[in-house]
Amino acid sequence: MGYVDLHLHTTASDGALTPSEIVRYAKNKGLQAIAITDHDTIEGLEEGLLEGEKVGFEVIPGIEISAEHSPGSMHLLGFFIDTHHPLLKERLGYLQRARADRNPKIAEKLRQLGVDITFEEVLKVSGGGQVGRPHFAQVLLEKGYVRGFQEAFERFLKKGAPAYVEKVRFSAEESIRFINEANGVAVLAHPNTLHMNGYSELENVMLRLVKKGLRGIEVYYPEHSALDVAQYKNLAERHGLLVTGGTDYHGIEMNGLDIGVGRGEMRLPYSMVENLRGARRFSP
């Protein structure tokens, strides 16, 4: 049995490979299955699933939802989602529209600050995928307003900076609800970004989410320390939660990170997929 990678992005969100490309790449690397988990969108799934069928490779339809959380960030993975479910489609459509509204607002704020920038210029550098703040940073850099991405975020784009526009997000409860409604299995992604104060605080948050239908925890992740992994595994065992893992690979090699293996340390067994499959509410 081969290994799996259950956290990947494509050009449908902020990845560099198309869904077909990432499927072929995973197959060539000798993996047995992958989940495509783009941010707040299922746009890449149809292509990925079709390519999987074509080349004989298992692709799990997934998603990664950004939920409301402060001060860190909370991402929820949904596995085996029914991509045709009306509620899922409606909720994601709402997020996409909010995102589309947000970007012109950022451009407007920048103009009010005296920056010569149009939303069209930002669209152009985005190359057709989801538009985000890094694309604004790119234009600011090209036009000489800043010397680097960090300065662009510090001076203009980060939360609290003068061109920041609040993101529209669903609560964790709502996100878990529509993942479940679409027969998906909801899993808390990379818990270290929640910035919890220790084990018991994380446990409390987890238990609150489990009551709302959360089923698992992403234990294996490139940015987790050995201590993190041990803690999350323990949490999963204590509360009967599923364990998943993935590299969050975005299609470009960054600091030696690659699909399936992370920075060389990851070997995620296929049983993770079987456990997720078995946890669905209905088996279609």
Q: How far is the CB of 200 from Zn ion (least distance, A)?
A: 24
Name the closest residue to Zn ion (Cβ).
75
Q: How far is the CB of 44 from Zn ion (least distance, A)?
A: 13
Select from 93-101, 110-118, 141-149, 241-249 the region that touches Zn ion (CB under 5 A): 241-249
Q: How far is the CB of 118 from Zn ion (least distance, A)?
A: 30
Burial 62-84 (b: 16+ CB within 10 A, else e): bbbbbbebeeeebbbbbbbbbbe
SS3 47: helix
Q: Is 248 in the site for Zn ion (CB under 5 A)?
A: yes
Nearby residues of 73 by Cβ (< 8 Å), 6 or more positions away: 66, 193, 194
Distance of CA 83 to the CA centre of its chain: 16
Select from 64-72, 81-89, 153-161, 236-244 the region that touches Zn ion (CB under 5 A): 64-72
Chain residues 113-142 in contact with Zn ion, contact rule CB under 5 A: none
Select from 52-60, 67-75, 196-204, 272-280 the region that touches Zn ion (CB under 5 A): 67-75
Q: Is 91 in the site for Zn ion (CB under 5 A)?
A: no
Q: How far is the CB of 245 from Zn ion (least distance, A)?
A: 12
Select from 28-36, 156-164, 176-184, 247-255 the region that touches Zn ion (CB under 5 A): 247-255
By C-beta, is 75 or 133 nearer to Zn ion? Answer: 75
Q: How far is the CB of 69 from Zn ion (least distance, A)?
A: 12
Whole-angstrom distance between the N-terminal and C-terminal Cα of the chain? 24
Chain residues 172-201 in contact with Zn ion, contact rule CB under 5 A: 189
Strands 74-79 and 58-67: antiparallel
By C-beta, is 10 or 231 nearer to Zn ion? Answer: 10
Quote helix, strand, coil % in the chain, to nearest 5. 45, 15, 40
> Distance (Å, rounded) from C-alpha 38 to C-alpha 259?
15
Size of the site for Zn ion (CB under 5 A): 4
Q: Which of 213, 236, 251 is nearest to 36 (CA)?
A: 251
> Distance (Å, rounded) from C-alpha 60 to C-alpha 34?
6
> Distance (Å, rounded) from C-alpha 6 to C-alpha 142?
36
By C-beta, is 52 or 246 nearer to Zn ion? Answer: 246
Q: Is 75 in the site for Zn ion (CB under 5 A)?
A: yes
* Site residues for Zn ion per CB under 5 A: 64, 75, 189, 248
